[in-house]
Structure 1
Amino acid sequence: MAKRFFQSWLPSPHKVAEMKLMKIFGQRTLNPVLWYVNRKSISKAFFIGTFWGMLPLPFHSILIVLTVLLFEVNLPVSLCLAWLTNPFTLVPILYIGFWLGAKVFQVNMIDQDMILGVLHQISHWITHFGNGHIDLSLAKILLSGLLLEALIFAVILFVITRLFWRWNIIQHYKRRRPIK
């Protein structure tokens, strides 16, 4: 069953509680509710982990743990999904974020001249110790695109997890049913 699949590769509560990051939260991470393996807990954990994992933020693992503690879903599954943003996936995540943001604000996709102009503004701002102007329209486009992208991927993985769980249960019952 799907429950056995997830339980087979999840670490023990004490192993996770001894991680440096988890020591910040104390004994709250040993709450048995955070370790349940059921359809609702796992699918919500996929949603939370994917949403925060798709956003290239520093310390997004802390945001994942805080959200998991708030909604009481499976902790290790959510933390595993924090690794969605890594050096190999960062460029596609940013590109899709820019593309979605450009579609939301109905602007053309960013070209080389626009990026060079922004880099020039940033370098001018740094060399003049904070005096100058930085066009934040690209940041607005990127941020809205990244939030939309994270939400879309989180919903997709949530639905896939629920469908996988249902399919697995159906397959289990088909194997148990006597053949006539």
Structure 2
Amino acid sequence: MAKKLIQRYLPEPHTIKENRYLRFLGSALHNANLWQLNRRSAATAFFVGIFVAFIPMPFQMVLAACLAILFRCNLPLSVALVWITNPLTMPAIFYFTYKIGCLILQVPVSESSFELTLQGLGSGLARIWKPLYLGSAVSGVVLGFISYTMIRIAWRWNVIVNWRQRNKRRSRSNQTN
């Protein structure tokens, strides 16, 4: 069930292989292990995807694909999970991670606004980049680890439930025979 549920929402391998931003990975995308979906590959893909989703940077999908290749986990799942941070969720997520970083560094949260100019964004980013990236890295690692653990537990629980159901069916069919 968990495998079928995850596979329902994953992009097709050819969609990822034909992505123009991932072409530089070349033959590495043809490794069969990157497309398998099992407990280890799914859990590691969740860690990678969620960790990368919390890093404020452009082209998060490329980083997720590179890390999926490095850690030999499910590539489509890793790439799909970076869309947790999308234009709708990004402001709230990165403000949260910025506040986490301020808390860790013990600096006050800056309530000033940004000017929508290149100079305004540059000076604003210069003030907040340390707490933003520290909070993002810490949040990514913690939430990635939690998701890794939850996927491992849920997958194991699902296997146990399926085994028990299969054993019940077998015992019923043996009793009728």
TM-score (norm 2): 0.82
Partner residue in 2 for 1:67: 67
Picking from 127, 130, 144, the partner of 1:140 is 130
Structure 1 distance, partners of 2:12, 2:146, is 28
Structure 2 distance, partners of 1:53, 1:70, is 17
Structure 1 distance, partners of 2:147, 2:167, is 30
Deviations 1:114-170 (A, max 9, x none): x25xx58x97x949xx9xx88945221122111111112111211111121012112
1:1-180 matched pairs, under 5 angstroms: 1-111=1-111, 115-116=112-113, 119=114, 126=119, 136-178=126-168
Letter paired with 2:17: A
Deviations 1:87-116 (A, max 9, x none): 1111111221121112101233333xxx25
Aligned length: 169
Q: Per the alignment, do residues 15 and 90 of structure 1 end up closer, same or farther by CA in structure 2, a change over 3 Å counting?
A: closer
Letter paired with 2:95: Y
Contact residue 55 and residue 133 of structure 2 kept, 8 A: no
Structure 1 distance, partners of 2:8, 2:128, is 44
Contact residue 2 and residue 169 of structure 1 kept, 8 A: no
Letter paired with 1:81: L
Please state how far the C-alpha of 1:41 moved relative to its aligned partner: 0.6
What percent identity do the matched residue pairs reach? 32
TM-score (norm 1): 0.81
Considering only aligned residues, what root-mean-square deviation do their CA atoms show, in Å? Answer: 2.7
Structure 1: 4+ residue segments shifted above 6 A: none
Please state how far the C-alpha of 1:73 moved relative to its aligned partner: 0.9
The gaps in structure 2 that reach 5 residues or longer are 173-177
What secondary structure, in the 3-state scheme, does the structure 2 residue paired with 1:24 have? helix
The gaps in structure 1 that reach 5 residues or longer are none
Structure 2 distance, partners of 1:42, 1:160, is 11
Contact residue 46 and residue 154 of structure 1 kept, 8 A: yes
What secondary structure, in the 3-state scheme, does the structure 2 residue paired with 1:25 have? helix
Structure 2 distance, partners of 1:25, 1:158, is 25
Letter paired with 1:35: W
